[in-house]
């Protein structure tokens, strides 16, 4: 057994005194992400270079101490919670944008760069980074890579997978390797693709090469109010069936609309059963033509009102409601828990109905705010942790929703990952043999499942039952969670 003293000494040798966090009161910050899991690490390191990351991983491997990588800790599946304690490797000090190449539209960044910061810097060249999780002001590119993060604007453009060209990584075995490169078309075995979305279980990205896109010259944002979620869902299917792929297509249900109005007063129509936010972008002329068609589809499917944002200010206001939906819902109850599931777009209305039934049965209020265009649900369960057995009931309810998603031909995650929370559901979709085959990818990176971000993605694992489940984690951790 390694003593705490030995561990800290080894870490100090790896990254220097000033980059090792060990005081209990400081470690508490690293106990959480945006979920209900929690576990305090023994130490946190803040390396500033790939060499330092490598030194830390090697030191921990030698000592047999678990390692858990961490970006901004905004994750929603427990991926960065150190399930078996040990050492958290934070990329918070690796936040340099190393290069923006406006001609080839490529950026090279360190993993700790915040998603929105990259788009801000790229804006100087008329470019932006497309995947836009709602947490984009805080969440990091490295964390986005780990979770294959999405966002409202990924409907037309695709998720992180489609925008990361190359990765420099320190593998779980402590080796420094390049996966992919700067070119748009991968060739050879595509380990870049396999690493993206591996939820920090195979290694730590130390450099990320991403593709940037030109900021579209014209944007139109529409808000459509419907009497029911079902009608709004039909409008969504119909818009897509017409060959229009909006930049974003986001939906909120009645409970969500009320919460947003109470907090932000963005002017969502009172009494609406569903609000659909549609954004179109592209060339001038083109977007206006599309907007006309979207409006017509919405009205045809029973919209009581379709409003087009007049100018940037109104557009920002409409989006503020969507982006602030989770914090607004947070006002309705002491605690909340966010579910992430995907269903075929054609099953959206039916699934929403079944989620409503689950809510009624469980006695827990469930609000819905989601990426309607790609069938990515985010039911948000409201509860009060002080009620006895609340946390367990919430997790049961979340499991029931996941079950419905799978029954309706959907899957377990659209963008938040499997993490610690949904790994026991993996056998609903994959046979044991398929899971074993998948898990073998660890061998490529020399990843010891018991030591490198243990207890994530795959079911089982020794010593994985130890994580505390604190239903109030989201609120207690400070900042609002995001979807």
- Of residues 441-470, those binding its own copies (CB under 8 A): 441, 443-445, 457
Q: Per CB under 8 A, which region of 43-51, 65-73, 327-335, 437-445 contacts its own copies?
A: 437-445
Q: Identify the residue among 76, 107, 191, 278 touching its own copies (CB under 8 A).
A: 191
Q: Which stretch binds its own copies (CB under 8 A): 68-76, 251-259, 267-275, 286-294?
A: 286-294
433 binds its own copies (CB under 8 A): yes
Nearer to its own copies, 198 or 359 (CB): 198
Percent helix / strand / coil, the chain, rounded to 5: 40, 20, 40
Site for its own copies contains 206 (CB under 8 A):
no
Mark the segment that binds its own copies (CB under 8 A) among 17-25, 34-42, 261-269, 289-297. 289-297
Contact call for residue 311 and its own copies (CB under 8 A): no
Nearest distance from residue 346's CB to its own copies, in Å? 4
Q: Give burial (CB, 10 Å; 0-12/13-18/19+) of 132.
A: buried
Q: Which is nearer to its own copies, 16 or 216 (CB)?
A: 216
**Alpha carbons 95 and 197: distance in angstroms, whole number:** 20
d(CA 49, CA 149): 24
Number of amino acids touching its own copies (CB under 8 A): 74
| Of residues 327, 292, 316, 310, the one with CA closest to residue 138 | 327
**Pick from 20, 342, 355, 481: which binds its own copies (CB under 8 A)?**
342
Which segment (109-117, 134-142, 348-356, 432-440) binds its own copies by CB under 8 A? 432-440
Q: Quote the crossing angle between the two packed helices 390-407 and 348-362, to the nearest 10°.
A: 160
Instruction: State which of residues 18, 187, 313, 465 lies at the interface with its own copies (CB under 8 A).
Output: 187
Note whether 290 binds its own copies by CB under 8 A: yes
The window from 64-72, 116-124, 182-190, 380-388 that contacts its own copies (CB under 8 A) reads 182-190
Q: How far is CA 204 from CA 78, 231, 300, in A?
A: 17, 44, 50
Question: Does residue number 161 form part of the binding site for its own copies (CB under 8 A)?
Answer: yes
Selected binder of its own copies within 64, 184, 267, 463 (CB under 8 A)? 184
Is residue 238 part of the contact set for its own copies (CB under 8 A)? no
Name which position in 417, 453, 477, 482 contacts its own copies (CB under 8 A). 417
Neighbours of 257 (CB within 10 A): 25
How close are the terminal C-alpha atoms of the chain, in Å? Answer: 40
Question: Do 75 and 33 meet the contact criterion of CB atoms below 8 Å apart?
Answer: yes
Q: How many CA atoms lie within 13 A of 342 on its CB side?
A: 14
Only one of the segments 269-277, 385-393, 429-437, 461-469 lies at the binding site for its own copies (rule: CB under 8 A); that segment is 429-437
Taking the C-alpha atoms of residue 247 and residue 396, their distance in angstroms, rounded to an integer, is 34
Supply the Cα-derived Rg of the chain in whole angstroms.
22
Which of 18, 188, 270, 478 lies at the binding interface for its own copies (CB under 8 A)?
188
Give 330 or 410: the residue with its C-beta nearer to its own copies. Answer: 410
* Rounded Cα distance, 437 and 426, in Å: 13
- Taking every pair of Cα atoms in the chain, the longest distance, rounded to a whole number of angstroms, is 69
Least distance from its own copies to the Cβ atom of residue 157, Å:
11
Report if residue 219 touches its own copies, rule: CB under 8 A: no
**Closest CB 51 distance from its own copies, rounded Å:** 15
* Residue pair 275/252 in contact by the 8 Å Cβ criterion: yes
Alpha-carbon distance of 316 to 61, in angstroms, equals 48
For residue 103, how many other CB atoms are within 10 A of its CB? Answer: 6
Give least dist CB 138 to its own copies, A: 22
Task: Output 24 or 188, the one with its CB closest to its own copies.
Answer: 188
Stretch that binds its own copies, among 11-19, 87-95, 177-185, 475-483 (CB under 8 A): 177-185
Beta carbon nearer to its own copies, 181 or 227:
181
Can residue 99 be called a binding residue for its own copies (CB under 8 A)? no
For residue 441, give the H/E element and its range: helix 441-444
Among 74, 368, 411, 453, binds its own copies (CB under 8 A): 411
**Residue 456 to residue 335: CA distance in whole angstroms:** 24
Beta bridge partners of 248: 279
Site for its own copies in 34-93 (CB under 8 A): none
What strands, in cross-sheet order, belong to the sheet with 176-180?
Answer: 97-101, 106-109, 203-211, 164-171, 176-180
Q: Starting at the earlier edge strand, list the strands of the sheet with 67-70.
A: 20-21, 43-45, 87-90, 67-70
For position 133 contacting its own copies by CB under 8 A, the verdict is: no
Q: Check residue 148 for interaction with its own copies (CB under 8 A).
A: yes
Give the residue, chosen from 49, 331, 346, 462, that forms a contact with its own copies under the rule CB under 8 A: 346
- Note whether 437 binds its own copies by CB under 8 A: yes
Q: CB neighbours of 75 closer than 8 A, spacing ≥ 6?
A: 33, 34, 35, 143, 146, 147, 416, 417, 419
Does 143 participate in binding its own copies (rule CB under 8 A)? no
């Amino acid at each position: 057994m390694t003593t705490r003293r030995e561990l800290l000494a080894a870490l100090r040798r790896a990254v220097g005194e000033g980059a090792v966090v060990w005081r209990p009161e400081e470690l508490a910050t690293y106990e959480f992400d945006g979920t209900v899991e929690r576990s305090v690490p023994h130490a946190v390191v803040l390396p500033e270079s790939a060499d330092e990351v490598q030194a830390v991983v090697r030191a921990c491997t030698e000592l047999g101490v678990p390692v858990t990588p961490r970006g901004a800790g905004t994750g929603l599946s427990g991926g960065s919670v150190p399930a078996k304690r040990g050492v958290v490797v934070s990329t918070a000090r690796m936040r340099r944008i190393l290069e923006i190449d406006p001609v080839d539209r490529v950026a090279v960044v360190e993993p700790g760069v915040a998603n929105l910061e990259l788009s801000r810097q790229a804006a100087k060249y008329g470019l932006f980074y497309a995947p836009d999780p709602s947490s984009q002001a805080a969440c990091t590119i490295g964390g986005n890579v780990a979770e294959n993060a999405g966002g409202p604007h990924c409907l037309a453009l695709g998720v992180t997978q489609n925008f990361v060209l190359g990765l420099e990584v320190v593998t779980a075995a402590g080796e420094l390797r390049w996966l992919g490169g700067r070119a748009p078309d991968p060739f050879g075995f595509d380990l870049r693709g396999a690493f993206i979305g591996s939820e920090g279980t195979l290694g730590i990205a130390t450099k990320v090469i991403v593709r940037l896109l030109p900021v579209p010259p014209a944007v139109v944002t529409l808000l459509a109010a419907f009497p029911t979620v079902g009608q709004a869902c039909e409008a969504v299917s119909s818009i897509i069936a017409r060959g229009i792929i909006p930049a974003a297509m986001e939906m909120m249900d009645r409970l969500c609309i009320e919460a947003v109005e109470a907090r932000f007063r963005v002017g969502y129509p009172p009494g609406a059963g569903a609000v659909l936010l549609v954004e179109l972008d592209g060339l001038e002329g083109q977007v206006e033509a599309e907007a006309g068609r979207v409006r017509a589809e919405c009205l045809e499917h029973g919209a009581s009102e379709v409003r087009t944002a007049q100018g940037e200010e109104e557009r920002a206001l409409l989006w503020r409601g969507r982006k602030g939906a989770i914090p607004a819902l947070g006002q309705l109850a002491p605690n909340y828990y966010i579910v992430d599931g995907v269903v075929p777009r054609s099953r959206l209305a039916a699934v929403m109905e079944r989620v409503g039934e689950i809510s009624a049965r469980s006695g827990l209020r469930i609000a819905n705010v989601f990426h309607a265009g790609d069938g990515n649900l985010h039911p948000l369960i409201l509860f009060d942790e002080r009620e006895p057995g609340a946390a367990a009931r919430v997790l049961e309810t979340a499991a029931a929703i996941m079950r419905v998603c799978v029954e309706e031909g959907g899957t377990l995650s659209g963008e938040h990952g499997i993490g610690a929370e949904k790994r026991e559901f993996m056998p609903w979709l994959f046979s044991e043999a398929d899971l074993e085959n998948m898990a073998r990818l660890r061998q490529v990176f020399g990843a010891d499942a018991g030591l490198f971000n243990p207890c994530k993605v795959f079911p089982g694992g020794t010593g994985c039952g130890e994580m505390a489940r604190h239903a109030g984690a989201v609120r207690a951790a400070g900042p609002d969670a995001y979807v």
